Amino acid sequence: MSKFKEVNDELASYNKPADTSRSAASLVNDFPTKELYNQIILLTDSLKEMYSHMPDAPQRVSPSPAMEKDIRRLLDYIRRVNKLEWDMMDSSFPDTISYWKSSTTFNPDKWYGDFFNNQYKIQAVTYLGYLKSQAEDRMEK
């Protein structure tokens, strides 16, 4: 019976209003956000390397099927880290890496088309650099 009381007390403590003594930074450490940011950084570096092997041309380029798969994986990592941080913070905070105006109108095909598919190589590489710097900034916080 005492074990039941301990478990019941523990569950009751979770249902109390938010503990103001815990900072947002300590909450971040409870979730795999740092790992997701690390994956974003590694994937942006890998994609930039792939782009570096493409010919420098004044026309627009399209990623290979393998690159498209990695770009869509990058998108998924960004979506997941935003969801984790959004869920544990006040919803008035903006997305950590902003690449769509609102989560209700996000369309991965539009995002892919706007930044990578049939775009200039420099545009895609610049955007990858932006995503990497955003992830690095968030990891430092």
Please compute the mean of the pLDDT values over residues 22-31 and round it to a whole number.
Answer: 52
74-to-56, 64, 70 alpha-carbon distances in Å: 24, 15, 6
**Residue 2 pLDDT:** 62
Task: Give percent of the chain with pLDDT exceeding 90.
Answer: 35
Residues 43-99: tens digit of each pLDDT: 999 999 999 998 887 889 899 999 999 999 998 888 888 777 766 665 555 555 555
